[in-house]
Structure 1
Amino acid sequence: MKPIYLIFSLLTFISLSCTSKDDTDLKENHDAQNIYFPPLDSDTWETKTPSELQLNTSALGELSSFLENTNTKSFIILHKGKIAFEQYFNDHALTDPWYWASAGKTLTSTVTGIAQDQGLLEISSKVSDYLGTNWTSETLEQEQLITCQNLLSMDSGLDDSLGDSVAPENLQYIANASNRWAYHNVYVKLQDVVAAVSNQSWSDYFNENLKNKIGMTGTWITIGDLSVYWSTTRSMARFGLMIYANGQWDNQQIVSDAFLNQATNTSQSINEAYGYLWWLNGKSSYHLPQTQVEFTGELIPNGPSDMYCALGKNDQKLYIVPSKDLVIVRMGEAADDSNFALSSYDNALWEKLNNVFN
């Protein structure tokens, strides 16, 4: 284990139990003047001091042991932008990159929103308006039901049982768009849409309009039809901080608050716990990848009700809790069994966090 910081913020609350999200606005209206943003071109990052702590110190030690023993490589907690806790484990260091897996879907969502803000696309428009027809194997009538918003919401109606390839022969009809929710790799076609409307490669547009503006490191690595982002843990924290700040970075609006409000609210009528590639806590039911079963209850019962999340394979986690001014990142190997997004680890981790914060 290689600790970098073990410093928590003064969190003046009795518990992490929160009121339910308002379906019209998940985020509080944070004043960016009261949020710390680290410099763009430096590893300098302000922290909280031990004198500010009001925490259960024995539970804090238990959390650290729990993280190390569950294959964690890195863990960060931000409070109003400042590092309140940062540790690295299992031969991982501050400057080492790691993969975001499906937590990186939220990068695609955000950049799609930026392109809409710039007037390059409308998410309500048909995907074929930007990519042409026959990008699927559906009939023209079926294909033209699919909008960019359907790709953001995971309700394209395409068959999710045919693997990761998004070649036309693999994108086959199973239901009309908006009538079936299924976790599907077809969302990556949004990257093609952004490239087409911007006349840039996806990575160039991403770097210019998001990565460089908030001081992230990292790169997209493409294997087959999968494009996965790799970066340091602090880069994921930077992204989470920008989202927490309602799309701002040091008073520059990166993506509109209006788009983020849509992105972090229920996006369709089938899976209450899903926005635009964001997972939402505090809902009365949810669906999971590779199943059409509706589960009753909250996505992460131990987590704050207003929390929204970027969740990736093998327990890559980005949690944003507006009511508590928290951004939390976990990167590493799978804590237990391999998984696609949500896992039992989310609830177990929040049990430990609740013990620390109480």
Structure 2
Amino acid sequence: MKKALKILVVLVVILGIVIAFNYSRLNIISGYSAKSMSSSVFVAGRSVEFTDTTDNNFSPINIADDVVDASKKIASASVFGLMTRKAVYRKGLGSVLITDDYDFSQETPVPHRSAITRMTAYPYGGMKQKDTVFTNVNYDQINNAVTYAFAKVDDEDIKKTRAVLVIYKDQILAEQYAEGFDKDSKILGWSMTKSLISTMYGILQYQGKINVWDKAPIEEWKNDERKDITIHNLLQMNSGLEWEEDYSKISDVTEMLFLKKDMTKPQAEKPLVGKPNETWYYSSGTSNLLSGILRKQFDTHQGYLDFPYDEFIDKIGMHSMLIEADMEGNYVGSSYAWAKPRDWAKFGLLYLHRGNWNGEQLFDESWVDYITKPTPTSDGRYGAHFWLNAGGFHPDVPKDMYSANGYQGQRVYIIPSKNLVVVRFGLAGSDGMDFNKFLSEITTAIE
């Protein structure tokens, strides 16, 4: 009995040491789980059970336990009963992790939305497309590519694909969804949100309200070595600012997304460790800093919240889209935009048509050239908040392809030389999916 007691005491001590050592990590695990659960349930309309067994079912997030209060629209998560974190849903602003001092009675501005659905066929309206057969398209090859995207390997669903759309000359050639999903399912784009932020700058540039070549309007930088960083440098993620983008541990990005009230500040507080225009480094902090700079362009918070919907999102009929905000009301431009797959595809089509939507120019055609110009030192892989194939990363795919990319393989591919937009969503990226093979099969099917 005494021996068993000693063993129990030792185990308790070891557990205590492990918990103490990983305390901050538990904070982030709980935070991720609560935020993911809240958005999945209250933004996307999925069940707690579905979210637990899919979106939150990976290590180490799956050690967290979630509780959802549907009446208060709050999701709570903890690990072994420790480090409880809460995320609350706010209509129009999505879900956000909150702190203990959060005031539920506070009045929070929300974006005004317009939901006019035109009585024309997709993509310019909500009506069904007419059947169209293109003689230069190998439909069997397109279908083979889609089948590949959903195919299991040795009975294991390693690709975890949820949705695929292939659109040629505005016409849907192929569309398929995994079980439990359909064309009305809202899906998180993760870092595809970065490309939305870039688009907002393109619109302001076109309207003459901002110049991306100007120095970044950050007061703290005016009298130190960061003073020469431009908005352009930030859009190309080539500012030279310090940042650690590592989701496997406590890093700058995980602290920002799961611990900070104001996500526009962390990157602004970082020192210069390289030279602007000579040091490319992928940084979600930079995207949120750009969201903060964007907010400064408007006289009111309401104007900032309304802008992307008024001038872009609702204008092209992406009515399902919602960009989530942090506790201070800043759009989380790095990570948190939701929309139905067909609406995400409209985003790709807007770029395929070089900023023109059904006759209305939303941003200058030259903006497409700007965002697809490779960032110095990126090996032809990155432009202004878009990923590129200019360096031939996908060797069997046209080099003019560019894309909005997100965590776990969220993709909107724009391929001008083939007049194509290809959309893929899932829970696995290149670790489970060969995107070069997938895209090559599709692009070579267009003669």
Common topology (TM > 0.5): yes
- The 3 A distance-change label for structure 1 pair 271 and 144 is farther
1:133 is the counterpart of 2:236: no
SS at match of 1:143: coil
1:174 to 263, 273, 282: 273
1:38 is the counterpart of 2:122: yes
1:155 is the counterpart of 2:218: no
Matches within 5 A, 1:24-173: 38=122, 42-50=125-133, 52=135, 54-55=137-138, 57=140, 59-69=141-151, 70-128=159-217, 132-134=218-220, 140-161=223-244, 162-164=251-253, 165=256, 166-167=265-266, 171-173=270-272
Partner of 2:324: 221
- The 3 A distance-change label for structure 1 pair 47 and 156 is farther
1:160-219 deviations in Å (ceiling 9; x for gaps): 225223426752321132221000111222222222112354431110110011010210
Partner of 1:212: 314
Matches within 5 A, 1:281-292: 281-283=389-391
Scaled by the length of structure 1, the TM-score of the pair is: 0.75
Shift of residue 351 of structure 1?
3.9
Counterpart AA for 2:420: L
1:299 is the counterpart of 2:393: yes
SS at match of 1:76: strand
Distance 1:308 1:145 in 2: 29
1:198 to 294, 298, 317: 298
Partner of 1:32: none
Count, aligned residues? 296
2:420 to 307, 326, 330: 326
SS at match of 1:239: helix
Shift of residue 273 of structure 1?
2.6
- The 3 A distance-change label for structure 1 pair 172 and 139 is farther
Higher alpha-carbon deviation: 229-238 or 167-176: 167-176
Partner of 2:382: 274
SS at match of 2:274: coil
> Percent of aligned pairs with the same residue?
25
Give the number of the structure with larger relative contact order, counting CA–CA contacts within 8 Å between residues 6 or more apart: 1
Task: Decide which structure has the larger Cα Rg and report it.
Answer: 2
Distance 1:278 1:336 in 2: 17
SS at match of 2:224: helix
Higher alpha-carbon deviation: 227-236 or 66-75: 66-75
Partner of 2:404: 310
Counterpart AA for 1:187: S
Query: Which 5+ residue runs of structure 2 have no aligned equivalent?
Result: 1-119, 152-158, 245-250, 257-264
- The 3 A distance-change label for structure 1 pair 168 and 72 is closer
SS at match of 1:214: coil
- The 3 A distance-change label for structure 1 pair 196 and 99 is same
- The 3 A distance-change label for structure 1 pair 260 and 353 is closer
Scaled by the length of structure 2, the TM-score of the pair is: 0.61
Query: Which 5+ residue runs of structure 1 have no aligned equivalent?
Result: 1-35, 284-297, 339-343
- The 3 A distance-change label for structure 1 pair 256 and 200 is farther
